Amino acid sequence: MAAKTIHAIYTDDDVLLEAVKRTRAAKYHIKEVFTPFPVHGLDAAIGLAPTRIAIAAFIYGCIGLVVAIWMMNYMMIVDWPQNIGGKPSFSFTQNMPAFIPIMFELTVFFSGHLMVVTFYLRSRLWPYKKAENPDLRTTDDHFLMEVEFDGDERELRELLLDTGAVEVNINQK
């Protein structure tokens, strides 16, 4: 692992995107990029793997559907069957059209809520967590690229300044 990091600050997202591409082409490891808003194409430029949140959402939706089916079958068929409007509740399939909205709602409910929980756990965002932002200007209008390196920083500093960085700071770990 690198002993030092360098912070390059940019004021334009297009310049940052090109700087990330040039820095990766020069074989430097970009540890993190801090932006005030999502930058389209930045995750691919950094080399991040595609997210699997869609797979998790599908699984959570399936769990919600199973819970809805089990819940309605137990409540309306097994536990307390009722004759509502002259329609007897002796089987789940006879009452399926009336259950479709509930199945849909619980599928969406489980998928949405469990995805939020998964996001917070995966991102390690829990209550009272201290912010890990190295420069407060990145929450307003600046962009920061954090690059790890071993060796001489002059070459990397010149590369980053050449890519359009307005400020370059070297940090010892």
Cα distance between residue 121 and residue 144, in whole Å? 25
The pLDDT score that the predictor gives to residue 3 is 67
pTM of the model: 0.70
Q: What is the mean pLDDT of each run of 10 residues along the chain (173 residues)?
A: 81 94 92 93 91 93 97 87 71 82 96 94 86 85 92 87 91 68
**Topology (CATH) of 4-49+132-172:** Alpha-Beta Plaits (3.30.70)
pLDDT value at residue 87: 67
DSSP line for the chain: --SEEEEEEES-HHHHHHHHHHHHHTT-EEEEEE-SS--TTHHHHHTPPPP-HHHHHHHHHHHHHHHHHHHHIIIIIII----BTTB--S-TGGGHHHHHHHHHHHHHHHHHHHHHHHHHHHTT--TTPPP--S-GGGGTT-EEEEEEE-S-HHHHHHHHHHTT-SEEEEEE-
All structural domains of the chain with their residue ranges: 4-49+132-172, 53-122
CA distances from 90 to 77, 93, 94, 130, 162 (A): 6, 9, 8, 56, 75
CA 121 to each of CA 7, 84, 141: distance values in angstroms, whole numbers, following the listed order: 27, 44, 28
pLDDT for position 142: 93
Q: What integer pLDDT is reported at residue 94 of this predicted model? A: 78
Q: Which of 53, 20, 47 is nearest to 165 (CA)?
A: 20
State the pLDDT at residue 145: 95
